[in-house]
């Protein structure tokens, strides 16, 4: 239905405004800092209003005496009144334990996996013909049946009679009863390796995180990674960074997990997710942080430009971000100056959550970790915790106070682990305050339990920042 066919007038104490038909009384209270996304174009009817278009991102500034109206600001900082039923609250995208979900595989690959042909053996894959839909593949006698799972209006259905909000609900339903299928679902073919935790594309749609590719303008290449290349660009006039997935088959699942994690993160020292493009090529869109990564910033400016105040600010900002992650039981696993970005106002923001331990699930990975930044227990036993992040934070502090030098400068890479396990630790960089070097040494305790929490270190750094000029 067109918006012009779906309007009515609602009067408040300010003026007469056009409101969408249906949800006239907004009953859910939003809080300062909540993000909402436009459902309709709102041109505004007075100088107090904040015009926006469908798909625009807004941040709630405060509520008003009228529950149908909020004060909000847009991506360029303009503030004004918005009607609550023209927008919806963005929701966190959760990860699900779905061992039967195999993501983007072909029909032929699915049939190869469903062997031997045991009635009730099943798996779920992405639809090859309909982006955003799924296919349920089920063995029956000596053949495989492929059922199209349609996703529309935030619901999933095979037969347009039974509807489900998640893939888990659908699978549980057909495990209990065939209900029109060739057989009920009995035993899943589980996906091998680090893939028991999954996110489905429909959750990004329902959460308000999907943006149109046509609204995105990509410019110069500003970075390269294992799974994606990063471009500077613009989204509805706002400067952004866009990570474009290189290989849909190899990296799509890790890419989606990173995006899902970022929907739950909101802190001034973490890079903010703006949205995700789900077309032929997945694109992760974040805020643009203008001065680039911290290690290059340190190296290109050096002692003549970067002050002690700058250094303590970088250290404290990064620690604040890590304290926030620790409070949410999230482990970054790849903390280093190259993964910290510097904003135009000098604020440091932690980025690159591609290796993060997400949502409390235990995960293993074949990813090779950077030896010089990784804690001994992580390299030895693949154990990653907030305490291993603290080890990496100690290395990052050394980078900050050495103006971007590579850690362990006089130790061959092949010998680093041996030297560290025998007790070797780097010396303090030239000019490093004794209080900062003391934090480094605590962070590099061999026993993880003897390393401090980020909240403890943050308290010390905040004090040091207050007395540094």
Catalytic residues: 334
The DSSP symbol for 255 reads H
SS3 356: coil
Residues facing 101 on adjacent strands: 124
User: How much helix, strand and coil, in percent to the nearest 5, is found in the chain?
Assistant: 30, 25, 45
Residue of 227, 234, 263, 218 whose CA lies nearest to 248: 227
The number of angstroms, rounded, from the C-alpha of 239 to the middle of its chain's C-alpha atoms is 18
3 state SS of 11: strand
Q: Which residue has the tokens 């549980």?
A: 172
Phi-psi region of 286 (alpha: psi -120 to 50; beta: other; left: phi over 0): beta
User: Token pair for residue 102?
Assistant: 């195999």
The reply, when asked if residue 257 is annotated as ligand binding, is no
Q: What is the dihedral of CA 311, 358, 105, 368, to 10 degrees?
A: 50
Q: Distances from the Cα of 283 to the Cαs of 218, 241, 247, 367, 408, in angstroms?
A: 11, 10, 12, 21, 36
Q: What are the structure tokens assigned to 286, written together? A: 């974040």
**Beta-bridge partners for 169:** none
Q: Check: CB of residue 295 under 8 Å from CB of residue 337.
A: yes
Q: What SS3 class is residue 164? A: strand
Give every CB contact of residue 56 below 8 A, 6+ residues apart in sequence. Answer: 37, 38, 74, 75, 236
How many CB atoms are located within 10 Å of the residue 108 CB? Answer: 8
Q: Would you call 192 exposed, middle or buried from its count of C-beta atoms within 10 A (0-12, 13-18, 19+)?
A: exposed
Shortest CA distance to 21 belongs to which of 9, 7, 10? 7
Joined together, the tokens standing for residue 244 give 């474009």
Query: What separation, in Å, do the N-terminal and C-terminal C-alpha atoms of the chain show?
Result: 61
Binding annotation: 243
- Binding-site positions for ATP read 243
């Amino acid at each position: 239905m067109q918006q012009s066919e779906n309007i009515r007038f609602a009067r408040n104490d300010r003026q007469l405004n056009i409101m969408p038909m249906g949800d006239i009384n907004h009953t859910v209270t939003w809080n300062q800092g909540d993000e909402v996304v436009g459902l309709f174009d709102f041109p505004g009817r007075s100088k107090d209003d904040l015009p926006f278009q469908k798909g625009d991102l807004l941040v709630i500034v405060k509520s008003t005496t009228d529950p149908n109206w909020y004060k909000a600001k847009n991506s360029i900082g303009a503030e004004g009144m918005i009607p609550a039923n023209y927008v919806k609250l963005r929701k966190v995208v959760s990860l699900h334990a779905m061992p039967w979900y195999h993501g983007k595989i072909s029909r032929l690959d699915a049939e190869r996996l469903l062997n031997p042909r045991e009635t009730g053996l099943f798996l779920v894959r992405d639809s090859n013909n309909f982006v955003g839909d799924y296919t349920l593949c089920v063995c029956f006698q000596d053949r495989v049946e492929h059922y199209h799972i349609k996703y529309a209006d935030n619901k999933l259905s095979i037969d347009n009679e039974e509807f489900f909000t998640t893939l888990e609900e659908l699978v549980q339903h057909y495990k209990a009863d065939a209900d029109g299928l060739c057989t009920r679902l009995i035993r899943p073919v589980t996906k091998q390796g680090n893939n028991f935790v999954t996110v489905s594309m429909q959750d990004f749609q329902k959460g308000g995180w999907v943006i149109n590719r046509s609204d995105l303008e990509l410019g110069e290449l500003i970075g390269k990674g294992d799974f994606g290349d990063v471009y500077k660009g613009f989204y509805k006039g706002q400067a952004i960074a866009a990570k474009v997935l290189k290989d849909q088959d190899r990296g799509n699942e890790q890419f989606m997990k990173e995006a899902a994690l970022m929907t739950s993160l909101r802190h001034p020292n973490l890079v903010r997710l703006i949205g995700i493009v789900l077309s032929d090529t997945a694109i992760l869109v974040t805020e643009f942080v203008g001065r680039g990564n911290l290690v290059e910033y340190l190296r290109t400016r050096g002692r003549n430009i970067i002050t002690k105040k700058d250094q303590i600010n970088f250290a404290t900002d990064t620690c604040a971000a890590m304290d926030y992650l620790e409070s949410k039981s999230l482990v970054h696993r790849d903390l280093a100056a190259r993964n910290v970005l510097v904003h135009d106002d000098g604020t440091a923001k932690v980025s690159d959550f591609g290796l993060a331990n997400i949502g409390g699930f235990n995960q293993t990975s074949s990813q090779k970790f950077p030896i010089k930044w990784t804690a001994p227990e992580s390299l030895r036993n693949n154990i990653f915790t907030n305490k291993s992040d603290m080890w990496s934070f100690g290395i990052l502090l050394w980078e900050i106070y050495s103006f971007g030098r590579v850690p362990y400068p006089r130790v061959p890479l092949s010998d680093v682990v041996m030297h560290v396990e025998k007790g070797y630790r780097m010396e303090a960089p030239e000019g490093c305050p004794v209080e900062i070097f003391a934090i480094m040494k605590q962070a590099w305790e061999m026993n993880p339990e003897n390393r401090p929490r980020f909240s403890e270190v943050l308290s010390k750094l905040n004090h040091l920042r207050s007395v540094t000029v």
